[in-house]
Structure 1
Amino acid sequence: MPILRLNAGPEGLVLHGSPAPALPTLRNAARGNGPIIILIHGFKYDPGTPRFCPHGRIFGHTRHPESAYHTQWPRALGFACGHADEGLAIAFGWRARGNLWRAQRSAWAAGVALAQAIHTIRIVAPRRPIHAITHSMGSEVMFEALHHLPAHAVQRIITITGASYASAVKTAMETPAGRTAELLNVTSRENDVFDAMFEKLIAADVPQDRAMGAGINLANAVTLQLDCPRTLGALTRFGGHIHMPKRRVCHWSGYTRPGALRFYARALRHSEDLQLQALQDALPDASAPRWSRIFAMPHMPSDLLGWQKTAS
């Protein structure tokens, strides 16, 4: 069973499209071999609404005709390819429609359900590595789950243009589960408009806090700014051949950009070849300032200004 489709329902975990109980199915699926990678979508999806169901779009097998930015995550991450060691993908759905405040509350509830799923896997298969990859507000689901998990529950987390405040990330990564996990914070100045909207609409608990797109400074984290040529050049040393962006504003290019999901698959499946310290040493020390893809900031360092012109 290379792909297991789970949803966070009102009463906890449910199987997508099946009345069978979720936990026995999850226990059975977890007894296999290979890595377990949890896929978590972001805002505007809802597994209970066919038109917006992530299992028929980014978690599906075929291109959805109504989704302009559709990319099938499971196959791009190495699942359903017929390989004996491909492991298990858990496509995790949650109700992310409505306004941002409602979606954030739903994400927190979904995080509790996700923690239950990870607990179940750990009991059945304590030696299997568990990783997670999220987009947008899916980061809130994963970071909430860390608050309900023990140390070593999750090995590596990739957040693609995450919709979380930096302080919330720091708090989650200081939990027992967070301290023993590694975080790859994928950002892009293409997402600046969406980061600014998040900060405008969702009140921060910490004054002057910024969305995680501004960068995360933690010993067990690294920020990958995918519209920075120096970053993309450094990633080629680790087998990452990701195309430069073609848009100034885009919320989805972190996974639709050619080469991006292939690199994430490598980062999750072959972490020994992409060690965190090596990534930290190879990447630029600081992210470009917000709006640098739209405006040439007067105070921008000349080297960053140069790559901004090239990227635009």
Structure 2
Amino acid sequence: MSDSSSPLRILLTNDDGIDAPGLAAMREELTAIGEVTVVAPAENQSGVGRARNEHAVRRDHPWGYALEGTPADCVAYALRGLDTDFDIVVSGINDGPNAGNYVVGRSGTVGAGIEAAFLGTPAIAVSSYHARDFFCHPPEEYDFSRPARIARAVTERVSGAGIFDEVDLLNVNAPIDVPNPRMRVTKPLADYDQRVDHHHDASAHSDGGDESELGDDEVLVRLRDVSWPDTVGYENPFPPRDEHRERYPIGTDRRAMVDGEVSVSPLAVHHGHTEDPKLASVVESLSETVE
């Protein structure tokens, strides 16, 4: 970390692509508090988690570099391939929320922060949501200035404050349309299910993939996330609000979103470890029988 008299050396990335409005808004704010280098995906890489590639093409960009790769590729390249010792990595602003354990695990925005943490650099993942529309899409129709100001304030205050002595990554979800939102330390809450649809007609494939005829023994299977109760796909999951307040306790990231608050979740990137004497007993017994 640079000393207090030096500007922060900030690596900025995202998963929506280097030309995304959320990244532009974030860069504008961060340049007021530090030296910002952008290394971001050349194209949209939403939902790739922390996937990595062995090779990626780099192209010059007025703000830094565009990389034909994932958000985690961008961070790995910047932290080890550029001649700069970055103080912090900021990923975002994502044009939709990343809240709940399952969603966070698949987020490219958060995946960039996880890559940074494994490489020893503090990180903040920033996502936005709209209290009425939920997803900020198409992003060109939304103003990301409020979550950008919030993210700038968080970045400035936590840098050098010892927060990252114990925390690997901060996951921030900020509303676009709520004036003066309350900020709350939260924890991700798991609430997830899967809906499976079976189709015997290939034309049911609505994602632009291969629509060739199915064979007699083939069935098109569609897996659809149920990331919020009774909501499949990308509908606004908030109504009815009272029902969701009861479902999600105060202090969770999802409750903060229902209440129009800024959710700040401190995360650890390790996968955890649980002591289980029952497992130890099973393993011990197996070691005596397996030849």
TM-score class, shorter-chain normalisation, is under 0.3
Which structure is larger by alpha-carbon Rg, 1 or 2? 2
TM-score, with normalisation over the residues of structure 2?
Answer: 0.28
* Larger helix fraction of residues: 1
* Larger strand fraction of residues: 2
TM-score, with normalisation over the residues of structure 1?
Answer: 0.26
Q: Which has the higher contact order (CA 8 A, sep 6+)?
A: 2
